[in-house]
Amino acid sequence: MKPAAAVTAYIGVGANLGDAIASVRHAFDALRQLPSTRSARLSGLYRSAPVGTDGPDYINAVAEIGTVLSPLDLLQALQHIESGAGRTRPYRWAPRTLDLDLLFFGEDRIDLPSLTVPHPRWHERAFVLLPLAELAPEKVPAARVAALAGQVISRI
């Protein structure tokens, strides 16, 4: 039996509580260790203001992985990594110790109650577009980046 071909997935990584830089780096290490997942790449780190809420600035990045996990198995693994980092969900857009969003899973379009891919707001967030453009510039049209020029973000 031929092994399943790896799918390239992009994951938004963010944190704004505690040592957010360390949390993002720890998440990246955890992504590299996922079963049925090959090497991963991480964009540079960015500092951004929260969108849609108040709170401390976020540290954001995007990770690219190759995996043979199913989308739902990958989602479950991401949520496990978040839980291990102390993530709680007291309310929508609450500050968080770690946030992992499955942005893209190959070219798949998924619309389930527990998972929507591509992520429904990926194109509205400079903290996704700028790091994603480092790893997959073909996914990020310059016009989209220009449209978000008012969002506060800087590479660190």
Question: Catalytic site residue 101?
Answer: yes
Q: What share of the chain is helix, strand, coil (3-state, %, to 5)?
A: 30, 30, 40
Q: Out of 99, 108, 111, 125, which one is annotated catalytic?
A: 99
Q: Out of 19, 87, 108, 111, which one is annotated catalytic?
A: 87
Q: Out of 32, 41, 92, 101, which one is annotated catalytic?
A: 101
CA 67 – CA 48 distance, rounded (Å): 29
Question: Catalytic site residue 111?
Answer: no
Q: Out of 57, 73, 96, 125, which one is annotated catalytic?
A: 96
Question: Catalytic site residue 87?
Answer: yes
Q: In this structure, is the dihedral angle defined by the CA atoms of residues 10, 16, 21 and 22, taken in order, positive or negative?
A: negative
Question: Catalytic site residue 96?
Answer: yes
DSSP 111-148: EETTEEES-TTGGG-HHHHHHHHHH-GGGS-HHHHHHT
Catalytic residue positions, numbered: 87, 96, 99, 101
